[in-house]
Amino acid sequence: MDKLLVGLVVYFLASYNSVFAQVNLSVSVGVNYSNFDLSLFPHVSQNEKDLYHYTFAFGFPFSNLGIGIEYSLNSISLYSGLKLSDRASSDYSTGFPPHYDHLVYTYTFLELPAVVAWKIKKMNLELGIGININHRLGSNYVNQNDETKLWGMDLRAMIKYNINEIFYINFTYTQGNIDKAIYAYENVYMFNVFSLNVGYNFWRIKLRNTPSI
């Protein structure tokens, strides 16, 4: 009986010490490489769809910047925050070959992500997936129906490399306005956005360990 009690105490202490939780606040800046997709236009021909191309969104001073919050528990992290992100696409449809005009359309979004990530500690990597709530700020070369739908939901995949405890590099792919595809809306844009960010953890608090369940 005594050995059993000792074993339970040892197990409890091991479980207690195995749980590590902390909260990080960070800032990040980066660039976006993006395009918008006209696949929701059944009346548009494939040739017209192909007029839009991927391009870099060079906002000022960066095409995306934000503040993030991370809650980590052992090998799992939850990410959220607020970000300003420019999503752009280019159009070479005007002019005559070989002298095409280069037009870039840029849309600015306020983003609220919710991403769950799994840490690969030996490689300093984190792999994550989640959603992103977006709100378009202002307008640009948008369709009439798209102007009435300022809010949207994105799917987001993430690969994060932790250089050290302070700096990190973050690569994300965002499928923008996925909710419009779910509801089969017409005359709205879907975005494909590749982002590369450098981040700085400026505040960290380690939480008291609690027993794992």
Which residue, among 188, 185, 40, has the nearest Cα to 107 in the 3D structure?
Answer: 188
Please check the confidence at residue 13 and state whether its pLDDT lies above 50: no
Distance CA 80, CA 66 (A): 10
Q: Residue 70 has which token pair?
A: 């991370």
Average pLDDT over residues 6-31: 68
Q: Are strands 21-37 and 190-207 parallel, antiparallel or unpaired?
A: antiparallel
**pLDDT, position 97:** 61
- Banded pLDDT at 115 (limits 50, 70, 90): very high
The answer on pLDDT for 87 being more than 70 is yes
Mean pLDDT within 187-211? 84
CATH number assigned to the domain covering 21-207: 2.40.160.20
Contact 73, 96 (CB under 8 A): no
Q: If we measure between CA atoms, which residue out of 138, 158, 4, 6 comes closest to residue 68?
A: 158
| Tens of pLDDT, residues 30-52 | 999 998 876 555 555 444 454 56
Main-chain phi, psi angles of 55, to 5 degrees:
-155, 160
State the Cα–Cα distance between residues 69 and 114, nearest whole angstrom. 10
Express each pLDDT in 62-71 by its tens digit: 889 999 999 9
Q: Which of 40-49, 114-123, 199-208 is predicted least confidently?
A: 40-49
Q: Going by C-beta distance under 8 Å and a sequence separation of 6 or more, which residues neighbour residue 211? A: 12, 15, 16, 19
Place of tokens 């840490």: 119
In 3D space, the residue among 54, 62, 60, 53 whose CA is nearest the CA of residue 34 turns out to be 54
**Which DSSP state fits 7?**
H
Mean pLDDT, the chain, integer: 80
pLDDT for residue 88: 85
- Residue 106's pLDDT band, with cuts at 50, 70 and 90, is confident
* Domain range list for the chain: 21-207
CA pseudo-torsion sign 24, 175, 106, 96: positive
**Checking DSSP bridges between strand 76-91 and strand 95-96, what pairing results, if any?**
unpaired
Mean pLDDT of 176-197: 84
Torsion of CA 31, 133, 67, 63, to 10 degrees: 20
